[in-house]
Amino acid sequence: MTVKVRFAPSPTGKLHVGNIRTALVNWLYAKSLQGVFVLRIDDTDLERSTKENEDGIRNDLTWLGMTWDETFKQSDKFDRYTAAAEDLKAKGLLYPCYETSEELDRRKKIAQSRGKPPVYDRAALELTDADRKELEAQGRKPHWRFKLSGGRAEWVDLVRGQQSIDTSSVSDPVLIREDGSFLYTMPSVVDDVDAKITHVIRGEDHVTNSGAQIEIFLALGAKPPEMAHMPLLIGADGQGLSKRLGSLSAEQLRNEGYEPLALLSLLSKIGTSDPVEARESLEQLALEFSFSKMGRAPARFDENELNGLNAQIVHAMPFEMVKPRLAKLAYGDQATPEFWEVVKGNLQSVPDAALWLAVVYGGGLTGPDLDAEDKAFIGEAAQLFPEGEVTLTTWKSWVDAVKAKTGRKGKGLFQPLRRVLTDQEHGPEMDRMLLLIGGDKARARLIEAAP
Ligand code: GLU
């Protein structure tokens, strides 16, 4: 059996961290078993779905390296859904209801006040043909509910183990709205049957849906796929994802300089028994993936951990790989392999290189705010600065001379020099920085800062 999974985002918004994790786990599971990854666009909600979001989802997945083997859109399949609905109607499993949402709310409240669960009472099943005619004559249009068996829907979840949903404790789900449009529940099942999906992998917020959907699979004469429901993501503080993280789109993460593999390494390891470490490829992550490693506890998504992994990946990046990305930053077209070797250890992300590009290749700096004493010190240091081109030993011999002349040492010696030459309090080794900045620019910066 070839494993076949699908990632099914709705193009009503952008991909965010939670969706990326669902896509990733589907992708890793498929690839770990030489399976097939399908991208399904859940655009039955024609009003809220946009082409822009759909394109965005495809771009984001491509950026992340999660390419798909097959893809389709639900909006191309309305005929199939209509046929499936007719099938269910003919079997007496899809029935018309005429309650307005106000009526339903009222009944729910009454049920609750009597201590009963707010489950739809199936009053519509009691309607006669004459009742329905009458209601339709009044201009009411039906919505359609699937008749659950009232028994238990059971499956062995790849993450949660044995599951059993009492379908008498949930309302018969509405599959078709008054206006004839389909809700997500049935099209998803029809598509999983048509595409021969073997495993449905999604967040645990879908567990109850799965109970109803298993019954719809069976009603349509199909075998339900295997199911895996992942624990949800939480923030570092153990609460739900922060507003910032929860709403961070893949596009924003890309713009903030996050590397796909930092994000993917983190998202594939949190909530599992594996340590959180950066990996070099999705293929490597797939080799290490197994549902047996995934726990039931929520997965903790920590931005600091993400930043750490990102830095680790950036530090290991060869110049040839980063060159085209540096070229998009100011002065980046001048960056040399030496530049990259010197500064990369100080970067958390590739765009952070902008600062060092300006220091090395840019003209004047803003200049540090020095007090009179430091200014005088810089004046002396400027006079001692050697003529001609600098070499790797220039920094040390110059600093030794400045030290001998001024009597300064430690931070008092190094800090003003670093600040004048680079405008920064911290940064790469100064001997190598000085070599990158060059003698002329260094002299100009010293003279500029001197009294
Ligand atoms: N479009 C649904 C969602 O984004 C898909 C759920 C599923 O995987 O079945 O929640």
**pLDDT tens readout for residues 396-421:** 999 999 999 999 999 999 999 999 99
Tell which residue, 319, 87, 322, has the closest CA to residue 219: 87
Sorted by sequence, the CB contacts under 8 Å of residue 414 that are 6+ apart come out as 399, 430
For residue 343, the model assigns a pLDDT of 98
CA distance 181 to 82: 10
Index of the ligand 1 atom closest to the CA of residue 205: 10
Q: How far is the CA of 9 from the centre of ligand 1 (A)?
A: 6
> Which amino acid makes up residue 262?
A
Domain with CATH 3.90.800.10 in the chain: 80-176
Q: How far is the CA of 205 from the centre of ligand 1 (A)?
A: 10
For residue 242, the model assigns a pLDDT of 77
CA distance 289 to 54: 28
**Pocket of ligand 1 contains residue 42 by CB under 6 Å:** yes
**Pocket of ligand 1 contains residue 188 by CB under 6 Å:** yes
Ligand 1 probe mutation, 5, 10, 204, most atoms within 8 A of CB? 10
Local confidence band at 247 (pLDDT 50, 70, 90 cut-offs): confident
| Residue minimizing CA distance to atom 4 of ligand 1 | 9
Contact between 303 and 245 under an 8 Å Cβ cutoff? The reply is yes
Ligand 1 probe mutation, 184, 190, 232, most atoms within 8 A of CB? 184
For residue 363, the model assigns a pLDDT of 81
Local confidence band at 366 (pLDDT 50, 70, 90 cut-offs): confident
pTM of the model: 0.90
Q: What is the mean pLDDT of residues 190-213?
A: 97
For residue 103, the model assigns a pLDDT of 93
Q: What is the mean pLDDT of residues 351-363?
A: 95
* Strands, E assignment, 169-292: 174-176, 199-203, 226-230, 233-235
For residue 329, the model assigns a pLDDT of 96
**Pocket of ligand 1 contains residue 9 by CB under 6 Å:** yes
Q: How far is the CA of 117 from the centre of ligand 1 (A)?
A: 26
Q: What is the mean pLDDT of residues 362-369?
A: 80
CA distance 305 to 276: 8
Long-range contacts made by residues 203-208, C-beta under 8 angstroms, separation at least 24? 203/18, 203/22, 203/229, 203/230, 203/232, 204/159, 204/160, 204/229, 204/230, 204/231, 204/232, 205/232, 207/160, 207/163, 207/165, 208/165, 208/170
For residue 218, the model assigns a pLDDT of 98
Percent of the chain with pLDDT over 70: 100
Token pair in block for residue 344:
């990369």
Index of the ligand 1 atom closest to the CA of residue 7: 8
Local confidence band at 241 (pLDDT 50, 70, 90 cut-offs): confident
Q: What is the average pLDDT score of the chain?
A: 95
Q: What is the torsion angle, in degrees rounded to the nearest 10, for the CA atoms of residue 20, residue 21, residue 24 and residue 28?
A: 180
For residue 23, the model assigns a pLDDT of 98
Q: What is the mean pLDDT of residues 150-176?
A: 97
What's CA 291's distance to the chain center, in Å?
A: 20
For residue 259, the model assigns a pLDDT of 97
Q: How far is the CA of 56 from the centre of ligand 1 (A)?
A: 17
Contact between 107 and 176 under an 8 Å Cβ cutoff? The reply is no
Contact between 269 and 334 under an 8 Å Cβ cutoff? The reply is no
For residue 245, the model assigns a pLDDT of 78
Index of the ligand 1 atom closest to the CA of residue 202: 8
Bridge partners of residue 291, in order along the sequence: none
Strand 94-97 versus strand 143-146 pairing type: antiparallel
For residue 423, the model assigns a pLDDT of 93
| Superfamily holding 80-176 | Glutamyl-tRNA Synthetase; Domain 3 (3.90.800.10)
Bridge partners of residue 194, in order along the sequence: none
**Pocket of ligand 1 contains residue 202 by CB under 6 Å:** yes
**Burial of 92 from C-beta contacts in 10 A (0-12 / 13-18 / 19+):** exposed
Local confidence band at 37 (pLDDT 50, 70, 90 cut-offs): very high
CATH of domain 1-73+231-316: 3.40.50.620
For residue 123, the model assigns a pLDDT of 95
For residue 365, the model assigns a pLDDT of 76
Contact between 29 and 291 under an 8 Å Cβ cutoff? The reply is yes
From residue 339, how far is each of 77, 273, 421 by CA, in Å?
Answer: 54, 39, 16
| Residue minimizing CA distance to atom 10 of ligand 1 | 9
Q: How far is the CA of 5 from the centre of ligand 1 (A)?
A: 12
Bridge partners of residue 199, in order along the sequence: 5, 226
Domain with CATH 3.40.50.620 in the chain: 1-73+231-316
Q: How far is the CA of 75 from the centre of ligand 1 (A)?
A: 15
Rg of the chain over CA atoms, in angstroms? 31
Q: How far is the CA of 206 from the centre of ligand 1 (A)?
A: 8
For 93-124, what is each residue's pLDDT tens digit?
999 999 999 999 999 999 889 998 889 999 99
For residue 161, the model assigns a pLDDT of 96
Sorted by sequence, the CB contacts under 8 Å of residue 113 that are 6+ apart come out as none
Domain with CATH 1.10.10.350 in the chain: 372-449
Ligand 1 probe mutation, 188, 210, 227, most atoms within 8 A of CB? 188
In CATH, 372-449 is 1.10.10.350: yes
| Residue minimizing CA distance to atom 5 of ligand 1 | 8
Q: Which residues of 351-363 are buried (b: 16+ CB within 10 A; e: fewer)?
A: bbbbbbbbbbbbe
Is 292 a residue whose pLDDT tops 90? yes
Contact between 309 and 266 under an 8 Å Cβ cutoff? The reply is yes
Ligand 1 probe mutation, 12, 24, 206, 207, most atoms within 8 A of CB? 206
Task: Give backbone dihedrals phi and psi of 102, rounded to 5 degrees, phi first.
Answer: -65, -45
